[in-house]
Amino acid sequence: MLSIIKRILSQIKNDKRSLGLLLFAPLLVITLLYFILDDSSYVPKIAVFDINEQLVTGLDENAELTILDELPVDDNYLETNNLDALFYTDTDGLKLLMLEQNSKSTAALKAITDAVANLQKNSPNQIETSYVYETDSENLLDSMSYVILGVISFFFVFILSGMSFVRERFGQTLERMLTTPISRVDVIAGYTIGYGILAALQSVVIILYSAYVLSIHIEGSVGLSILVMILMAFSAVSIGALVSIFANNELQLVQFIPVVVNPQIFFSGLIPIDTIPFGLGNLCYFAPIYYGCTALQKIMIQGKGLAEIWPWLLGSFAYILILFSINVLALKKYRSI
């Protein structure tokens, strides 16, 4: 088992590009996403009608304002004028109309609530908010960081372990390995731990980079997040090895990526599980990423600790064990003893 772990580490040491891709490609993707999703510098365009002058002055600091003389009746007004929000007063009080929920409307909403809060520190007025295109989802950006980290790490590790296992089958080194007295358990354990170490290294790099370079907000413990990521990475290694059984060559493994990875994204928390119809949400228990991402969400967003997230850690762990046993059994194809 130790020989296999050492071999995997020397293999990757001699293949600097793969190592670089494993460690830095996720950082590149995360950085890119960070800038794409970063909207803090966006100045929202807001049209105002019949709003208290002080509020307008306050708002002017954070937004590009268009002062209207009459309330537009056209539904397409915001779209045709390329505006993000319409802020107005009618008989019921303050009203805010926006196009749809996205990063721009979030920025507009933030500018207005900030201005209102500044003005009426003690009793902020209720603003009735509505959207032209109504969606019920909560704000995506707030809840996305854990999905991104989980999915990206899972994806890279899955490809790495799946590919090397396919190559091992295809190049018949696996068969050769099994002509030695090594046991099947040792082969899979060596494999899982060897690639697990690489995956763990990747997890540490990703979390540290996200937390300290990109300053992505982690409410709970960074160490615990790393632990969850490592567990998730181990399950990605095992799932890569499992899928490689069904692939006869590298191309087929690549074809498996959308089949295996996409559903994981659906169950990663991007879509609230309990809103998925026909009980299909229960399929999440088959997605290793569900356990990892839910735990990550609880740590990074809700600031929960080990006491609250242990069921998901246990789930992750059980998943790894099950995949491990399946992989050991699958090796029987190459050696029945």
Partner 1 sequence: MQILIQSIEKSFKKQKVLENIDFTIESGHIFCLLGASGSGKTTLLRIIMGALKADSGSVTIDDLSVPDRRLLSLIGYMPQNDALYEELTVWENLKFFAGLHKMPRADFLKAAQALLSMTEMTDYQQKLIRNCSGGMKKRVSLMVALMHHPKLLLLDEPTVGVDPVLRRKIWQHLNSLKDGGATILVTTHVMDEVYQCDDAGLIRNGRIVALDTVKNLIASTQNSNIEELFFTNPTKDEVPAC
Residues of this chain that interact with partner 1 (CB under 8 A) are 2-4, 6-7, 10-12, 14-15, 171-173, 175-182, 334-337
Dump strand ranges (E) for 181-258.
none
Report, in Å, the least distance between residue 82 CB and partner 1.
54
Nearest CB to partner 1, comparing residues 3 and 255: 3
Report, in Å, the least distance between residue 26 CB and partner 1.
21
Task: Determine the distance from the C-alpha atom of residue 142 to the mean position of all C-alpha atoms in its chain, rounded to a whole number.
Answer: 11
Tokens of 220: 């709970």
Tokens of 291: 């356990």
Nearest CB to partner 1, comparing residues 2 and 28: 2
Place of tokens 């040792």: 186
Nearest CB to partner 1, comparing residues 5 and 261: 5
CA atoms within 13 A on the CB side of 9: 14
Contact predicate 146/210, CB 8 Å:
no
Report, in Å, the least distance between residue 244 CB and partner 1.
16
Distance CA 322, CA 72 (A): 61
Report, in Å, the least distance between residue 335 CB and partner 1.
7
The H or E element spanning position 89 is: strand 85-90
Nearest CB to partner 1, comparing residues 304 and 335: 335
Contact predicate 44/151, CB 8 Å:
no
Report, in Å, the least distance between residue 178 CB and partner 1.
7
Nearest CB to partner 1, comparing residues 17 and 121: 17
CB burial of residue 130 (10 Å; 0-12, 13-18, 19+)? exposed
Distance CA 221, CA 298 (A): 10
Nearest CB to partner 1, comparing residues 182 and 273: 182
Report, in Å, the least distance between residue 12 CB and partner 1.
8
